[in-house]
Amino acid sequence: MKIIAIILSLISFSVAAKIERTTSCFLSDNNKMKLKYVEIYDNKTPLSYVKYSKSTSSIPLVFSKETEEEVEGGRPAERNTTWLEVVDGKINGKYEIMSQGGRYYSFIYKGSNGKEVNFNEDVDAYNSEQDDCIWKAI
**CATH code at 90?**
2.40.160
Residue 50: per-residue pLDDT:
97
DSSP alpha helix (H) spans, the chain? 2-16
**Is residue 74 domain-resident?**
yes
The torsion angles phi and psi of 134, rounded to 5 degrees, stand at -120, 110
**Is residue 3 domain-resident?**
no
Per-residue buried b or exposed e for 90-103, using 16+ beta carbons within 10 Å of the residue's own CB: eeebbbbbbbeeee
Residue 35: per-residue pLDDT:
96
Q: Number of folded domains in the chain?
A: 1
Residue 13: per-residue pLDDT:
45
Domain hosting residue 89, numbered range: 18-125
Model pTM above 0.85: no
The torsion angles phi and psi of 13, rounded to 5 degrees, stand at -65, -45
Residue 95: per-residue pLDDT:
98
**Is residue 10 domain-resident?**
no
